[in-house]
Chains A and B, each alone.
Chain A
């Protein structure tokens, strides 16, 4: 009797305990899945918000390249053509865009077109000068408000005063859609133009080049210094207080917030040394100092991985220590150090705050061509677009994020490739 009660108790206790075990395992599993779900949701958000930015809306516009209006003749020279009165042609084209437009209507129609239309009309003419005195049907870029409406990013059912386009403009757009005078094509501007105040002609080319120049500076500065530092600490440094101080320093620098490095750049590089503001040179220097600890730690690990027998072999046949290290150990550790450097560069690519501090947040509407020219950088460009009130910039920021993620992915793929291809297991 007693025995069976005790048995029952034990069985129920065991059941409870194994249930507890199951539950605990389940908690862990849920936590892991939650983290991954957030990752998926994050990527989904970016993709769903951003994919529309790779398309732009264009409108068919009939342009009359009348020589009187242009103030050109069929045998004008190239310089004269550059100075042709294309804005007058554009004005005329817009006035005749729909039949019988009143003056106030023309103003409304004008707002359906991008500010870039002047240039497009001009470029078309410069490419085909024979069209003078003819009427041409040209596809030109639509205004961002039209673009957003047709992509479904801005809604038409909100009250008129909270919309960018009023009811008349909406009816124009609908008419265009009906007459097939509007379509969506690949947005080449996004990849060929720099930042702009107008979303429809804003692109990532400028900030992408800025990021490339910045990364180049980071690489030039941090790779040799990191290799030198790690070779010294790993192979030559005597065990004393100064070495210890350097090591503590490096591990602490690795955890200093990036924004503090920005303050360093502002306080020392800009204010004391007077280097040019907003340039990849300064941005790259700051990021190099910031990523240096990461790269040094990776380099030391790969130096450590080279077996001591190789160095000892070199020493045994009469090499000096410097020769043994630089002729044998460093070349063998090189793939590992390169991998570490690329991972450090990937970290530098995404860093925003220090670049804001040294002024790379300025509005730069052209593509930089050198290290000492003011330029933007991809993450700062994303920040500027996220903060922008204009609706058309939101899809641009998501698309720029895709660009930066692909860039990061490629860097990591190169790092993994290098590691798999060249790293030797001993």
Chain B
């Protein structure tokens, strides 16, 4: 359906363009004056008045049609008293029957009635959709064609419209942020209506499935997120222990020691490392590193579980190496050459220059890079989902199974998503925490880096 309507819109804008062009030529000939702008601008003017109203209709239909139809069907549904209904399942069933008449066998008469209601509504919706698109395009063209007079400044108007479009494009980023903040806060508030915020932030029991208190019906299980935060922190620390030294030393080597040829070869290779999808790292952690960690743990007498904070953290560290090394590389390169020369001038060798002059000078930038890396490690999902496990263990032992914020979000949202259930809603509360922490880290890091840049510019 929507494909053909796109074709309809395409035909509409094409003919409106042709129409606008010929109309203005005709009008200016009639009046015997030259038009203020080139004919194409008038044509574009008609086109825009044809296209944008049609697009608005198109998208509002695409977005709201299904919802409105479903609401009407449900509100007219003849509920049998006493029977329990699940609205989502009911709608799915009605839609199945409507789309596939062979499913109707053995279904209750209410469902079959509702299904025929549903398909008739869909048909009405389709017909009115096409007619309203055609009408709105005609109306738009009609309105625009009234302005097609030679004394009308079509170009100015078009340029103003283009400005509006551009402003809309750049505000998408703001809409996205608003969307993120509102959806997180809205669902989190629903979560905190059932689970107290203090329990969430400070309690150490995370059992989202089992009712542990008597008479507890609204909230099932307990939602103390401390073990999750601790697990996230542990994995992050392991990752940084791997990534910080390796990434920084690599950056130092590439910036200060390596020849141009080595840089030219190694930098793209590191970029490959950075471009590998995280699920691939997850596979690597699961297949190679986790068994190795388990064997290593057993060899030194520690009982390691098959998925562990150490395996996930180490692989995550590898993932972050290119991130740290490229950021630190930039930072080290922007330390002014005069500092190096001064240090060499008083007889220091390269290592001493790096350790005593360059690194202290570059320290704020490096700290900023580390903070950005930490924020990445906290927000990373697939490696930990595959390799860190799902058990909320409050432990400092990296050989044990831990779980992280991102893992719990995934676990809560895989499978049935019932939005009246605190378990599902907990994902949004965790997401809010994740968003706030990463945002905070980013803002600090960007500030530090910015100030550092200013110092040497």
Contacts and interface: CB of A to CB of B under 8 A. Distances in A.
Interface of A: 17-18, 20-21, 23-25, 27-32, 34-36, 38-39, 41-42, 45-46, 49, 224-229, 231-233, 236-237, 245-246, 249-253, 255-261, 263-264, 266-268, 271-276, 289, 292-293, 296, 320-322, 326, 346-347, 349-353, 356-357, 359, 361, 372, 379, 382-383, 386-387, 394, 397-398, 401, 404-405, 408, 412
Contacts of A261: 180
A408 B279 CA distance: 14
A272 B66 CA distance: 12
B321 interface: yes
B173 interface: yes
B278 interface: yes
B250 interface: yes
B137 to A, nearest CB: 21
The prevalent SS among residues of A at the interface is helix
Contact of B278 (A21, A32, A326, A352): A352
Nearest to A252: B442
Contact of A27 (B183, B249, B446): B249
A386 B419 contact: no
Interface string B155-194: 1000100110111111111101101101110110000000
The residue in B163, B318, B413 that gathers the most chain A C-beta atoms within 10 A of its C-beta is B413
B391 to A, nearest CB: 16
B419 A271 contact: yes
Given A39-B269, A259-B434, A383-B279, 19 more contacts: A18-B349, A25-B257, A25-B350, A38-B318, A39-B273, A42-B276, A46-B280, A252-B439, A256-B435, A257-B378, A259-B431, A260-B180, A263-B409, A263-B428, A276-B66, A352-B382, A386-B286, A404-B280, A405-B276
B52 to A, nearest CB: 14
Contacts of B2: 372
A415 B1 CA distance: 35
B64 interface: yes
A353 B257 contact: no
B438 A257 contact: yes
Interface in B229-254: 245-250, 252-254
B170 A274 contact: no
A401 B155 contact: no
A255 B376 CA distance: 8
Interface in B377-400: 378-382, 385-386
B243 to A, nearest CB: 10
A386 B249 contact: no
B144 interface: no
A289 B172 CA distance: 8
Contacts of B435: 256-257, 260
A145 B173 CA distance: 51
Contacts of A237: 170
A257 to B, nearest CB: 3
Given A35-B246, A46-B284, A356-B414, A259 B275 contact: no
A322 B162 contact: yes
B272 interface: yes
Nearest to B284: A42
B418 to A, nearest CB: 12
A21 B166 CA distance: 55
A263 B431 contact: yes
B333 to A, nearest CB: 15
B288 interface: yes
B360 interface: no
Given A249-B174, A386-B282, A229 B273 contact: no
Contacts of A352: 277-279, 381-382
A39 B268 CA distance: 12
A1 B167 CA distance: 82
A274 B68 CA distance: 10
Interface string B333-363: 0000000000000000111101100000000
B427 interface: yes
A352 B383 CA distance: 11
Contacts of A225: 169, 172
Contacts of B222: none
Given A259-B406, A264-B180, A21 B352 contact: yes
A379 B428 contact: no
B367 interface: no
14 contacts: A39-B273, A45-B287, A225-B169, A250-B173, A251-B446, A256-B379, A257-B375, A257-B380, A259-B431, A266-B413, A274-B66, A353-B382, A383-B279, A386-B287
Contact of A383 (B64, B258, B282, B376): B282
B266 A32 contact: yes
A382 B279 contact: yes
Given A257-B406, A267-B184, A31 B253 contact: yes
A289 B198 CA distance: 33
B111 to A, nearest CB: 21
B63 interface: yes
Contacts of A379: 277, 279, 382
Interface in B253-295: 253-254, 256-258, 266, 269-270, 272-273, 275-284, 286-288
B443 interface: yes
The residue in A224, A293, A352 that gathers the most chain B C-beta atoms within 10 A of its C-beta is A352
Contact of A25 (B253, B321, B406): B253
B179 to A, nearest CB: 5
B434 A257 contact: yes
B18 interface: no
B372 interface: yes
A264 B266 contact: no
**3 A-B pairs with the lowest CB-CB distances in the bound complex, closest first:** A257-B379, A350-B277, A28-B253
Contact of A24 (B162, B163, B351): B351
Contact of B439 (A18, A28, A256): A256
A387 B386 contact: yes
Contacts of B182: 268
A397 B382 CA distance: 14
A253 B382 contact: no
B9 to A, nearest CB: 15
B266 A36 contact: yes
B382 to A, nearest CB: 5
B351 A21 contact: yes
B10 interface: no
B102 interface: no
A410 to B, nearest CB: 13
A257 B381 contact: yes
Contact of A256 (B180, B275, B284, B446): B180
B288 A41 contact: yes
A415 B349 CA distance: 42
Given A31-B250, A383-B382, A398 B63 contact: no
